[in-house]
Amino acid sequence: MHSPAIAIRRTPLVAVYGTLKRGLGNHHWLDGADFLGEDRLTSARLYDLGFCPGARAEPSRGIVVEVFRVDAALLAGLDRLEDFRVRAPYAGMYHRDVHATAYGPAWLYLYNHDVTGRPVIDEGGWPAR
């Protein structure tokens, strides 16, 4: 999958599904990012962790994400927020993977820990509207 990774390095896109969405508590971490629009991803499923959702790379009926264009500094800030560790991607709370969106390939933060017993959000978004 080298072509999506190459494209993402030139114009990094991030698809967000939880507290980073517009109007929610962590959206300020995306100050300066360009909002491109919403999309529905069937390549990921959300789990309600209580304080936030966690996505897993599992088929779903379509979770709602917001897609943003970010620069390297904003992406590094998001990595800190999401506890993504470049040298040990599965050691933190989330790792990143590229998923196809209507706006091009985008990073999606995927939850690293066990989701047994967590409510599934198979369609729609978080928080539930």
* Active-site entry in 58, 66, 82, 123: 82
Q: Which residues contact 88 (CB under 8 A, 6 or more apart)?
A: none
Q: Which residues contact 6 (CB under 8 A, 6 or more apart)?
A: none
- Determine how β-strand 62-69 pairs with β-strand 123-124: parallel
Based on the residue annotation, tell me whether 82 is a catalytic residue of this protein: yes
Tokens of 111: 């939850």
Spatial separation of the C-alpha atoms in residues 53 and 45, rounded to whole Å: 10
State whether residue 84 is helix, strand or coil: coil
H and E: helices and strands count for the chain? 2, 9
C-beta separation of 19 from 25 below 8 A:
yes
Residues designated catalytic: 82
